[in-house]
Each structure stands twice: as structure tokens, then as C-alpha cells.
Amino acid sequence: MAVVIAAVAAFLMANALYITWTARRLDRMHRRLDAAAAALDAQLRARAEAAAEFAAAHRGANAGELAEAAADALGLTGLGHDREAVESALSRALQERDDLDTDLVAAVTRTIFARRFHNDAVRDALVVRRRRVVRYLRLAGSARLPTFFEMDDVTVERTIEV
């Protein structure tokens, strides 16, 4: 009888430790996701500001379109679907230019990396949130389900010379 009680107690203790570990891991992932979303928002804003400065300084083919796309991107906050569409439009406007300066190329590159880091954090959080223990015990609480940020990326075919 004592052996059964000890086995049940060990089983319950192991489950409690696993649940606690999973809850802490999920909390860390949500904090990482919040930091990645803030970094992505900052990089998107920096890219739009650099594009607006570039459009103001370099007149020529599609400078007005680039300036308008940059202004639209600066007018939005958050990482919703409307921001995805506006940022994709800015990416397309940047793609049409072949004379980007190094500051703008650097801002575009940092934005690409920030989006990848954000989407990696979303993927990792979704993997943990799909676990049965997280769903059944509602370990995620009232946290929103994270979503990927999808936008057209600018292909930068130039290298940045340091």
C-alpha cells in the first residue's frame, strides 16, 4: 500500500513539475514574442523613415510613389493585416528602385531580420500552445494567439560596403 501511495505521489509530483515548467516556458515565449513584435515595429518604422528621406533626397522614377508608400507606412502602428498590406506596398516601391543608398539598404536588411525573428518567435509559441496540457489546463490564459507577419520582402542585390 505504501508503495502505491509513493508511486502516485511521485507521478503527481512529476506532472506538477512538468506543468510548471511548461507554463514558465510559455510565459518566456510570450515575452520573447512581445520583444520581437516591438523590435519589428521599430524596424518597420525605421525603414519607412529611411525610405521617406531617400525619396525626398532622390527625385526621379517613382519617387512620388515611394514617398507616398513611406508616408502610409509611417501612418500605421501595430502588426495587423492593414500594416502588412502597407508594408508590402512600400517593399514593392523599394523594389522598383535600383539606386538605393547604403542607409536604406541597411534599414531594409534589418527589417528582414526583424521579421524573421518575429515569425520564428510566433512559430515557437504556437508549437507550445498546441500541446494538449497547455490547451486542457488553459496555461496560455487570456493571451491572444500569435500571428505571423507576412509582407513582401525587398530583395537587396547589393552588398553594404563597410
Reported as a pLDDT band with limits 50, 70 and 90, residue 58 is confident
DSSP string, 56-123: HH--STTHHHHHHHHHHHHT--SSSHHHHHHHHHHHHHHHT-S---HHHHHHHHHHHHHHHHHHHHHH
What is residue 61's predicted lDDT score, i.e. its pLDDT? 67
Question: For 111-132, what is each residue's pLDDT tens digit?
Answer: 999 999 999 999 999 999 999 9
The answer to whether residue 94 scores a pLDDT higher than 80 is: yes
Of how many residues is the chain composed?
162
Percentages helix, strand, coil for the chain (3-state, rounded to 5) are 70, 0, 30
Instruction: Please give the mean pLDDT across all residues of the chain.
Output: 89
The answer to whether residue 34 scores a pLDDT higher than 90 is: yes
The answer to whether residue 15 scores a pLDDT higher than 90 is: yes
Reported as a pLDDT band with limits 50, 70 and 90, residue 29 is very high
C-alpha span between 10 and 17 (Å, rounded): 10
Place of cell 515595429: 41
Q: Give phi and psi for 97, each to the nearest 5.
A: -90, 140
Reported as a pLDDT band with limits 50, 70 and 90, residue 158 is low
Angstrom distances, CA of residue 137 to CA of 4, 8, 129: 26, 20, 11
Q: Mean per-residue pLDDT for 97-107?
A: 87
105 HSE (CA, 13 A, CB side): 14
Reported as a pLDDT band with limits 50, 70 and 90, residue 152 is confident
Q: Mean per-residue pLDDT for 35-55?
A: 95
